[in-house]
């Protein structure tokens, strides 16, 4: 198995875009996206708050063809940047940028797109409005149609919070894409997921330095407590029992070293308000609350027209396999293919070479199939 450093694992807490970087090495040289920024003036959030300027950082790979029918959207996951899907992109992988036009959008709150840490008053820090998954989808829809002149997608492919966005795309814009792929993520955050996230927020905000979000320096003790709670849910219990961290020497040679590494270097240079904002976005995810469905998640799922490849991780503690089984039963054209892995939630981002190969093969077959 390809060795990964704790710093790389920390680059994306919900999957460590460790994956992105380390698996790029495992699968060969990763493609480099072109960085762009799209600004929306007077962006009105779903809650009714108007942000004078909302910015989305995004990357592109390849070029839109003359027919305009080769675009694929890859929305980012928790605290990830445009490199979060490098393990899927490149020659010999599921997404070949010599044939496809790939757009990798970055979520509000990741520290690069508009976030609590980089937005001026009156919305700086804890005053930044909660951005829902639908807010992110609406902003990216404008990015695609207004700036890139993309009016149809071959697919939306997402992991974790990216999967949440993929489902929302299929409900909000049912004719905008042919297919969606969702790995290790559900169409709604159910009660147990909200309890978990609230526990992580509580651990972070208990640090007196946090000062209700108006801190003068990052609340390091709180961030470390948050990191330990998050780590406890990241991998499967079997992963810990078998001490599979031993296959990654860079994580440490003892359990104590591994735990301390996650505690102190989980998300380097993270801003506490950014971390919380994206957890609030995660908590609010619910396709059933899309206007016209009145809270009925099952009706929203039944409305999906796109073909769906739904790939939960068999050992995911964030998005349990049982939730995926429940949701898939209402989606008209859905292939449910669990990822057989002990790597828990990160399996959905190709955490191990076996996970990456499994997902790449299924995504490639799904995108190329004619049915």
Question: Would you state the pLDDT for residue 9?
Answer: 44
Q: Are 129 and 47 in contact (CB under 8 A)?
A: yes
Overall average pLDDT of the 270-276 stretch: 97
Report how far residue 345's alpha carbon sits from residue 342's, in angstroms, rounded to the nearest whole number: 9
Catalytic residues: 160, 316, 345
Q: Alpha-carbon distance 329 to 319, whole Å? A: 16
Binning pLDDT at 50, 70 and 90, where does residue 371 land? low
The whole-angstrom separation of Cα 88 and Cα 71 is 15
Rg (Cα) of the chain, in Å, rounded?
A: 19
* Mean pLDDT, residues 125-152: 98
In the chain, the N- to C-terminal Cα span, in Å, equals 35
Q: Rounded CA gap, 152 and 162, in Å?
A: 18
pLDDT band at 3 (very low <50, low <70, confident <90, very high): very low
* pLDDT tops 90 at residue 370: no
**Residue 256: is it exposed, middle or buried by C-beta count within 10 angstroms (0-12/13-18/19+)?**
exposed
Please list the alpha-helical segments (H only) found in 51-159.
133-142
Q: What is the DSSP string of 165-210?
A: HHHHHHHHSTTSEEEEEEES--SB--HHHHHHHHHHHHHHHTSGGG
Cβ(181)–Cβ(167) under 8 Å? no
pLDDT in tens, 60-98: 999 999 999 999 999 999 999 999 999 999 999 999 999
Q: What strands, in cross-sheet order, belong to the sheet with 307-311?
A: 34-44, 50-61, 101-105, 71-75, 153-159, 177-183, 307-311, 334-336
Residue 103, CB half-sphere, CA atoms under 13 Å: how many?
A: 27
Inform me whether the pLDDT recorded for 17 exceeds 70.
no
pLDDT band, residue 14 (cuts 50/70/90): low
Packed helices 191-205 and 272-283: angle between N→C axes, nearest 10 degrees:
170
Residue 305: CA atoms inside 13 Å, Cβ hemisphere, count? Answer: 7
Q: What angle do CA 161, 163, 167 make, to 5 degrees?
A: 120
pTM summary value: 0.93
Q: Give 24-50 pLDDT, tens digit per residue.
A: 444 444 678 999 999 999 999 999 999
Tell whether the model's pLDDT for residue 107 goes beyond 80. Answer: yes
pLDDT per residue as tens digits for the range 322-352: 999 999 999 999 999 999 999 999 999 998 9
Which residues sit opposite 126 in a β-bridge?
A: none
Q: Place 249 in a pLDDT band, splitting at 50, 70 and 90.
A: confident
Q: Is 336 or 248 the better-scoring residue by pLDDT?
A: 336
Question: Any residues with CB less than 8 A from the CB of 157 and at least 6 apart, and which?
Answer: 72, 73, 74, 85, 88, 95, 166, 180, 181, 363
Reading the block at residue 120, the tokens are 């001026």
Decide: 17 and 11 in contact? Cβ < 8 Å.
Answer: yes
Q: In whole angstroms, what is the distance from residue 273 CA to residue 269 CA?
A: 12
User: For the residues 261-279, what does the mean pLDDT come to?
Assistant: 94
Give Cβ neighbours of residue 237 (< 8 Å, ≥ 6 apart): none
The class (CATH top level) of 15-190+287-368 is alpha beta
Query: Of the candidates 339, 345, 343, 282, which has an alpha carbon nearest to the alpha carbon of residue 316?
Result: 345
């Amino acid at each position: 198995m390809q060795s990964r450093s704790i710093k790389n694992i920390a680059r994306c807490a919900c999957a460590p875009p460790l994956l992105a970087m380390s698996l790029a090495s495992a699968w060969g040289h990763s493609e480099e996206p072109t960085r762009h920024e799209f600004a929306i003036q007077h962006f009105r959030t779903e809650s009714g708050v108007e942000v004078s300027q909302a910015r989305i950082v995004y990357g592109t790979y390849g070029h839109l063809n003359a027919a305009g029918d080769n675009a694929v959207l890859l929305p980012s996951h928790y605290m990830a940047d445009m490199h979060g899907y490098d393990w899927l992109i490149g020659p010999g992988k599921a997404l070949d940028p010599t044939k496809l036009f790939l757009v990798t959008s970055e979520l509000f709150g990741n520290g690069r797109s508009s976030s609590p840490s980089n937005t001026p008053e009156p919305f700086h820090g804890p005053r930044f409005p909660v951005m829902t998954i639908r807010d992110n989808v609406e902003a990216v829809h404008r990015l695609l149609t207004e700036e890139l002149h993309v009016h149809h997608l071959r697919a939306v492919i997402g992991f974790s919070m990216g999967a949440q966005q993929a489902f929302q795309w299929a409900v909000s814009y049912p004719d905008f894409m042919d297919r969606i792929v969702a790995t290790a993520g559900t169409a709604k955050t159910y009660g147990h997921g909200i309890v978990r996230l609230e526990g992580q927020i509580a651990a972070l905000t208990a640090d007196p330095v946090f000062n209700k979000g108006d801190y003068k320096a990052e609340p390091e003790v709180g961030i470390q407590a948050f990191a330990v709670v998050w780590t406890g849910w990241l991998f499967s219990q079997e992963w810990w029992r078998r001490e599979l961290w031993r296959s990654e020497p860079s994580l440490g040679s003892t359990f104590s070293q591994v735990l301390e590494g996650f505690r102190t270097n989980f998300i380097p240079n993270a801003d506490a308000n950014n971390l919380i904002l994206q957890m609030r976005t995660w908590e609010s995810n619910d396709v059933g609350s899309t206007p016209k469905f009145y809270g009925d998640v099952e009706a929203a799922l039944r409305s999906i027209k796109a073909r769906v490849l739904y790939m939960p991780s068999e050992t995911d503690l964030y998005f349990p396999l049982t939730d995926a089984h429940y949701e898939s039963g209402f989606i008209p054209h859905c292939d449910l293919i669990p990822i057989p892995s002990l790597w828990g939630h990160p399996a959905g981002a190709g955490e191990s070479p076996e996970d990456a190969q499994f997902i790449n093969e299924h995504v490639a077959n799904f995108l190329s199939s004619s049915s």
